[in-house]
Amino acid sequence: MIDRICISINNKCNLKCTYCHFHEKDFVKNEDMDVIKILTNVKEYAKRTFKIGFVGNGEPFLDFKLLRKYLEYIEDNEFIKTYTITNGTIPITPKDIEFLEEHRVNVGFSLDGYKDLHNVNRCNTFDVVMENIEKYKTFTGHYPTFNATVGKKTLENLHRVIDFFKPFGAKITFSRMIGFKGITLEEYRMFINEAEKHLQIRKGLLDCTMYGGKCGAGKNNYFFTNKKVYYCGNCIDLSPVDDSSVSLFELEKISLNFNRDYCYKESL
Ligand code: SF4
Ligand code: SF4
């Protein structure tokens, strides 16, 4: 049973973060994809809670009008829950934020931690991201959730990172940095075990080991980008599973057997 997908709505980004595996693999390119067809397929398929993340391979707020159109298209489906993640550098209006609130979209801001730590990989954007986070809080009355990537420097400064996030009182998804600057799954799990003693953390279930869960590749989640479907955002350099127009009933027939406590991609 598939219960979540991620969709890259635009494949473009205004940043070039040093650890971005989409840039690393030269994957941020602009190929139009029929997102309405994907959403139609989800509406036909979803008969219980189904999560759509408008994330991955790009910055969704660069195309807010598109995002709005897609959210309006699925608003009549009671089972679909949505979230998006922004790099926090794109100014959005109070009207846009109100729209996201009305549509109960969980908005996550990518923020790696205190200024130096964030800036080292995320193009010196700390100040503007913090400014937009405060604006979001002013408009909504609450902080957004956060998405922080955990690399070697985070491990070395574990308690400084924890102390940075504590005052927000918001939920944080810590994701494991992969690629040439990455850390091992064991290092990541050690970090999570300590961080969850002090912070509200979102841990994946059957989803992805990069977020503290089990690997859902080829089982319950898929990633749509560049007119194709992949097992996940990290699997974009493997052959695509199918075209993005494929029905979810077809995708459901796929089965991969491996130890889901570990990352499928890394087990190849
Ligand atoms: S904001 Fe996201 S998609 Fe853009 S470069 Fe950074 S990690 Fe990559
Ligand atoms: S293959 Fe790896 S990165 Fe992809 S969902 Fe599984 S654990 Fe996550």
Domain CATH code at residue 24? 3.20.20.70
More confident of the two residues 12 and 248: 248
Which pTM value belongs to this model? 0.95
Q: Is 235 in the pocket of ligand 2 (CB under 6 A)?
A: yes
Q: Which atom of ligand 1 is nearest to the CA of 21?
A: 8
Tokens in use for 259?
Answer: 């130890």
Q: Which residues pair with 6 in a beta bridge?
A: 53, 223
pLDDT band at 260 (very low <50, low <70, confident <90, very high): very high
Domains held by the chain: number: 1
What radius of gyration do the chain's Cα atoms show?
18
Q: Which atom of ligand 1 is nearest to the CA of 57?
A: 3
Please state the rounded mean pLDDT for residues 141-149. 97
- The pLDDT assigned to 56 comes to 83
Domain extent, residue 72, equals: 4-267
Q: Is 5 in the pocket of ligand 2 (CB under 6 A)?
A: no
Summarised one tens digit per residue, pLDDT across range 52-97 is 999 988 899 999 999 999 999 999 999 999 999 999 999 989 999 9
Tokens in use for 20?
Answer: 């971005």
Residue 28 scores a pLDDT above 60: no
Q: Whole-angstrom Cα distance, residue 39 to residue 245?
A: 10
CB distance 59 to 15 below 8 Å: yes
Q: Is 264 in the pocket of ligand 2 (CB under 6 A)?
A: yes
Residue 181 scores a pLDDT above 80: no
Residue nearest to atom 8 of ligand 1 (CA): 20
- The pLDDT assigned to 188 comes to 95
Residue 257 scores a pLDDT above 60: yes
Q: Whole-angstrom Cα distance, residue 34 to residue 95?
A: 26
Q: Give the Å distance between the CA of 9 and the centre of ligand 2.
A: 20
**DSSP string over 190-237:** HHHHHHTTTS-B---SEE-GGGTSEE-BTTTEEEEETTEEESSGGGTT
- The pLDDT assigned to 30 comes to 60
Pocket test for ligand 1, best of 8, 21, 22 (most atoms within 8 A of CB): 22
- The pLDDT assigned to 22 comes to 74
